[in-house]
Amino acid sequence: MNQLLENILENCRKYTKDGKLASYIPELQKTDPEKLGICVVTDENALYTAGDSDIRFTMQSAIKPIILLLALMDRGEEEVRKLVGVESTGKPFDAFNYSDQALKREHINPMINAGAIALCTLIDGETYDEKFDRLLKLVQKLANNPKMEIDENVYQSEKRTGSKNRALAYMLQAYGLIHDQVEQVLDCYFKACSVLASSVDLAKIALVFAKKGKLSSGEQVFSKEYAKYINAVLMTCGMYDGSGEFALNVGVPAKSGVGGGIMAIVPNRMGIGIYSPALDSKGNSCAGIKSLELLSKELDLSIF
């Protein structure tokens, strides 16, 4: 397997040139766009790596499934469904533009920014610091890595410049989808996006979702039902508007982040973590997607 991963990276390294680093969070531009690393952890806990698999990067949107998970664990499915939908576009079959006059729960899903920001309000905790701490602890537990922490510079950078997310959050407030103080909710979201992880961490987290909530120790951290819920949402919305292509060419639930990470879940079989920060126009890692396409072909990973 190590050799297969090496070969895949060698084949896909050229695609790092097809993409660009995320620039709207200034701090993310300080990264080397040519890095590429991968980790696979199997259901028997065999761990394989190649390339820059131990480089740490900020999880960004790859933390969204865990925000959804904690909201489900804290409040249950009914309350989560009352706040956010599960549709990838949230538009009717004959829609031709975005001229909706209202923002409704069925327009947002947990894998886009608005949905993830809204879900931060459902995490239990007296304060937003406490909510974030509980989220970080859950991430650490899933990755079996108590050292995971935030990148203070990326966090401050996004907090300073995150006008679009600020606008989204105020829209959510205006339409009654969040009731707490917008800046506090955003602070929790920005911190969550700034959690540092390596490809190994992502692969281990992905494996817990692949094993439907079961840690390698045998502990069931969350119910199978929640794993099914999250994997299903990831299948349709995890790679943004690249989710259709990804379903065709890779065929497993996955989540990307603008830090360059992708976490891919092969139900019952393996967790995969990839890092390569040069992104395509949709905000997904170019070389990361190509590597997953090859790996999926080689190991017949598609669930379809």
Q: Which residues bind ligand GLN (CB under 6 A)?
A: 60-61, 113, 158, 165, 193, 257-258, 283
Residue (139 or 294) nearer to ligand GLN, CB? 139
User: Position of tokens 């139900």?
Assistant: 267
Single out the catalytic residue among 240, 282, 297, 302. Answer: 240
Instruction: Determine phi and psi for 109, rounding to 5 degrees.
Output: -130, 165
Verify whether residue 15 is a known catalytic residue.
no
CB of 32 to ligand GLN, least distance (A): 18
Q: Where would I find the beta strands (DSSP E) of 236-293?
A: 254-256, 261-266, 270-275
Angle CA(63)–CA(260)–CA(49) in degrees, nearest 5?
Answer: 90
Distances (CA, A) of 221 to 69, 139, 142, 225: 10, 11, 8, 12
**20 catalytic per annotation:** no
Question: How far is it, in rounded angstroms, from Cα 272 to Cα 44?
Answer: 14
Q: Catalytic annotation on 240?
A: yes
C-beta of 169: minimal distance to ligand GLN in Å? 10
Q: Is 229 a catalytic residue?
A: no
Q: Which member of 41, 48, 53, 64 is catalytic?
A: 64
In the set 189, 226, 229, 275, the catalytic residue is 189
Instruction: Specify whether 185 is catalytic.
Output: no
Contacts of 130 (CB under 8 A, 6+ apart): none
Residue closer to ligand GLN, measured from CB, 90 or 242: 242
Q: Which is nearer to ligand GLN, 113 or 140 (CB)?
A: 113
Judged by beta carbon, residue 282 or residue 297, the one nearer ligand GLN is: 282
The CB-of-259 to ligand GLN minimum distance in angstroms stands at 7
Helices 182-193 and 113-120: crossing angle, nearest 10°?
A: 110
What residues are annotated to the active site?
61, 64, 189, 240, 258
